Amino acid sequence: MNIRNFIIKKTASIAMFSAALTAFSTYAAPSPVYAQALESEEQSASEEDSAGKEDEKQNEENENSGDSEEKKDLYIPESPDIFSGSAILMDADTGAVLFEKNSHERCYPASTTKILTGLLVTSNTSLGEKIVFSQQAADSVEEGDASLNTKAGEEFTIDQALHGLLLHSANEMAYGLAEHVGGSVEGFADLMNKAADEAGALDTHFVNASGLYDDEHYSTAYDMALIARECFNNPTFLAIDSETNYEIPATNLTSEKRQFKNRNLLLPGMGYEYKYCVGGKTGYLPEGGHTYVSYAQKDGMRLIAVCFESGADERFSDARTMFEWGFNNFSKVSLTGTPLLAPYTETSYLNSGRFNSGKIRHNLDATYVTLPDGASISDVKVSPDTDHKTTADDQNVNIPIAFKYGDFTAGTADLSYHRADAVTTANVMLPAVSPDASEDKQSTSVNSPFVVDLKILIGIGLGLLGIFILWAIISGIRRKREKNALYRSRRRRF
């Protein structure tokens, strides 16, 4: 069976978890052989699944029926009423989706695109670094665009340009920063798409750094929340994005200073002031309406709100409504010491020498889930996150999982399996094709760990026990015979 599908289906079961580790050590092999092996295994798995489908159908229906009954009893607070056509409220720490409305609908993100532009710039430059704007960047602004009237050849620091990008939403700043980091807008867009994919985005594609309209420039509220998680976890990005006012002093080509305010009106002291708001980004396109991504923090809980297809005022009121609803109805619950994490601890049976002989380790990067107030952690189940892909190579398997409270996603995490030591041809414990083997004729010899099966150990134990019992019986008979002989000898004397 395909190792990825095998582990995904069995992750929640301790017994199948151990089988997953064994499968990993049995089937993982270097590319391109590993890819070919997986393809063959997928075909076999498909045949096996078809063969057993009828036998399992009734059991699955019964289980689903039972699950449905259980879900009816789970408490979920009544959803908030909002104007935005597409929206989501997500816990920035756990990945829990507290509320969503058409969150997987494809939309035009407009200038909320610039949060990813800002993240990539902060991750690939230093704030004191100088940037000189090209003629193309200076001419990239169209009538009606947000702009700081930047001139060709004008010089700024990265810090100044980022403030112009995130607070004032200047389009030429996005263009110039994209050229500076990616070499060109097209090159930077490639970096954006890669970063979005790494964040877990499912239906997002960028073609520019500013969010200007293009039919191939789109995202979803869900994807933008995932991207925002990365942005708001970057302290440099957040420090800039949370400022309400900024001033750029005179430059080499402009004698006047530039002063501007943050367009995020939900920040404290702004028009729609919400004291727990600590960052965000607005946007607008005639083709997609008003957009907004925001971030708020209260009592140790960090929430992200995304509003697409909204109104100029409604996006702020919707975000505030979602934030207040989330803070008032949900809490973070620790997973430490719960049965949900027990199979993945270092002291579990699954990390015993029986499995460590294969030098395979695992890690589950989960600490908390987010649940409705009063909900029980015992109602949370671990299941594969089928929205995201499992990744695997010869040394690692990474499985996205979800903590489910009924239909509600209480958190997400990655369960990863990996080699504990560096692979060498001398001590490799995973199957490896001989380096001399060609693609047309692969060697079938593998290096596999020495593992003693538990059944063999039990059999040996039972055998030894049988021998001991037989020895005890024989010894007892011998002692009885000796005692009788001694008794008869004494009688003859008297």
Nearest to 410 by CA among 131, 24, 86, 97: 97
pTM: predicted TM-score of the whole model, two decimal places: 0.72
Catalytic site residue 111?
A: yes
d(CA 70, CA 339): 19
Higher pLDDT residue, 8 or 404? 404
d(CA 54, CA 61): 11
Query: 368-377, 388-397, 453-462: lowest mean pLDDT where?
Result: 453-462
Helix (H, G, I), strand (E, B) or coil at 416: strand
Q: How confident is the model at residue 45 (pLDDT cuts 50, 70, 90)?
A: very low
- DSSP conformation class of 402: E
Task: State the pLDDT at residue 88.
Answer: 98
Query: 86-90, 443-447, 477-481, 487-491: lowest mean pLDDT where?
Result: 443-447
Q: How confident is the model at residue 435 (pLDDT cuts 50, 70, 90)?
A: very low
d(CA 83, CA 424): 59
Q: How confident is the model at residue 8 (pLDDT cuts 50, 70, 90)?
A: very low
Q: How confident is the model at residue 57 (pLDDT cuts 50, 70, 90)?
A: low
Mean pLDDT, residues 156-178: 98
Which one-letter amino acid corresponds to residue 89? L
Q: Give the contacts of 190 (CB within 8 A, at least 6 positions apart).
A: 182
Catalytic site residue 194?
A: no
Res. 352: pLDDT tops 70: no
Res. 13: pLDDT tops 80: no
pLDDT tens-digit map of 465-477: 888 888 888 888 8
Q: How confident is the model at residue 75 (pLDDT cuts 50, 70, 90)?
A: confident
Instruction: Look at the chain and count its residues.
Output: 494
Task: State the pLDDT at residue 103.
Answer: 98
Mean pLDDT, residues 162-185: 98
Which one-letter amino acid corresponds to residue 181? V
Higher pLDDT residue, 347 or 435? 347
CB 391 within 8 Å of CB 350: no
Task: State the pLDDT at residue 463.
Answer: 82
User: Catalytic pick from 18, 84, 111, 219?
Assistant: 111
Higher pLDDT residue, 235 or 367? 235
User: Catalytic pick from 10, 101, 114, 332?
Assistant: 114
Catalytic site residue 381?
A: no
Q: How confident is the model at residue 420 (pLDDT cuts 50, 70, 90)?
A: low
User: Over the chain, what is the mean pLDDT?
Assistant: 81
Percent of the chain whose pLDDT exceeds 90: 56
Task: State the pLDDT at residue 423.
Answer: 42
Q: How many CA atoms lie within 13 A of 289 on its CB side?
A: 16
Percent of the chain whose pLDDT exceeds 70: 72
Res. 11: pLDDT tops 80: no
Res. 276: pLDDT tops 70: yes
pLDDT tens-digit map of 82-101: 999 999 999 999 999 999 99
Highest-pLDDT range among 166-175, 413-422, 478-487: 166-175
Q: How confident is the model at residue 7 (pLDDT cuts 50, 70, 90)?
A: very low
Mean pLDDT, residues 288-315: 97
Helix (H, G, I), strand (E, B) or coil at 281: strand
Task: State the pLDDT at residue 440.
Answer: 41
Res. 441: pLDDT tops 50: no
User: Catalytic pick from 103, 140, 169, 210?
Assistant: 169
CA distances from 89 to 209, 250, 299, 317, 330 (A): 25, 41, 17, 14, 12
Task: State the pLDDT at residue 33.
Answer: 35
Task: State the pLDDT at residue 484.
Answer: 78
